[in-house]
């Protein structure tokens, strides 16, 4: 099934990965779905504390270069 979600790869400790797999299985979620859910929860908590993030005003610094 096609998706409009952006792929993203990251590194984490093997122990964390195994624990996340356990939690995903217990919650009958895929690992990807669990990680997306946790990201969503963290963003909601952040925005409750600091206000909504305005994506049109984000400047990202990558290797000493600013990218808007």
pLDDT, tens digit, 9 for 90 and up, residues 1-37? 678 888 889 999 999 999 999 999 999 999 999 999 9
pTM: 0.74
Q: What is residue 64's predicted lDDT score, i.e. its pLDDT?
A: 55
Decide: helix, strand or coil at residue 11.
Answer: coil
Q: What angle do CA 9, 12, 17 make, to 5 degrees?
A: 100
| Cβ-contact 66, 60 below 8 angstroms | yes
Count, residues in the chain: 68
Torsion sign across C-alpha atoms 43, 48, 54, 60: negative
Model confidence at 40, pLDDT cuts 50, 70, 90, reads: very high
Determine the Cα–Cα distance for residues 29 and 27; give it in Å rounded to an integer. 5
């Amino acid at each position: 099934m096609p998706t409009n979600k952006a792929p993203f790869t990251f590194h984490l400790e093997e122990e964390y990965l195994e624990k996340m797999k356990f939690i995903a299985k217990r919650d009958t979620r895929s690992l990807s779905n669990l990680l997306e859910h946790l990201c969503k929860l963290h963003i909601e908590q952040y925005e409750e504390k600091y206000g909504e993030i305005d994506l049109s005003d984000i400047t990202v610094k990558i290797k000493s270069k600013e990218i808007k």
